[in-house]
Amino acid sequence: MGDDEKRNRAITARRQHLKSVMLQIAATELEKEESRREAEKENYLAEHCPPLHIPGSMAEVQELCKQLHAKIDMAEEEKYDMEVKVQKSGKELEDMNQKLFDLRGKFKRPPLRRVRMSADAMLKALLGSKHKVCMDLRANLKQVKKEDTEKERDLRDVGDWRKNIEEKSGMEGRKKMFETES
């Protein structure tokens, strides 16, 4: 176990050393990148923005302001033209996407509303006024007679329970009972 611990410590120390070396290299690269950006910025400003010479007289200052306003107007026009181009290309993209969906058959479906309509009105709307189809479902139902079951018949036949008891009393009633059972 002692060897494993020493080995793990050595591996950990080496990892930390490599990490610190990598961080030092990254820091120097970041510094170089920052200095390069500063140099590019200075070069760009030197090319596009000449140093400003403020004249001493009022007329020269007014002339300088007129020139600056003219440059600002040109920049605003360019900005407006760019915005119009972006809007136009955005509209073209939307149109192309719509055509693409149309060609694929994927139409944007509008939200459907519930419509209460009778079956006759629906058929009339689908088939037109030429076809007259009546969809009165209750009129087309069959009339079914309910078959009397034996239980219901017995209940109807029994009637008054006192009369039934009187019929069964005596020998004649018992004779009738045996005759009906067999």
Residue 26 in domain: yes
- pLDDT reading at 139 higher than 80: no
Domain ends where: 35, 51, 67?
Answer: 51
Residues 70 and 46 in one domain: no
Report the pLDDT value the prediction gives residue 37, as an integer from 0 to 100. Answer: 96
Mean pLDDT of all residues in 50-76: 86
Q: Is it the case that residue 94 has pLDDT exceeding 80?
A: yes
Are 23 and 5 found together in one domain?
A: yes
Residue 70 DSSP label: H
67 and 47 share a domain? no
Look at residue 42 and tell me if it is in a domain. Answer: yes
Asked if 69 and 47 sit in the same domain, the reply is no
The answer to whether position 68 is within a domain reads: yes
40 in any annotated domain: yes
- Give the pLDDT of residue 18: 94
Which 8-state DSSP code applies to residue 152? H
pLDDT at site 39:
96
> In angstroms, rounded to a whole number, what is the distance separating the alpha carbons of residues 138 and 157?
34
- State pLDDT tens for residues 29-44: 999 999 999 999 999 9
What is the domain range of residue 98?
58-106
In a domain, 130, yes or no: no
Count how many domains the chain has: 2
Q: Are 69 and 93 contained in the same domain?
A: yes
Q: Which amino acid is at 178?
A: F
pLDDT bin (cut points 50, 70, 90) of residue 22 is very high
Structure tokens at 26: 């990254």
Residues 63, 38 share a domain: no
pTM above 0.85, yes or no: no
In tens, the pLDDT along 103-132 reads 777 556 677 777 777 777 777 777 776 666
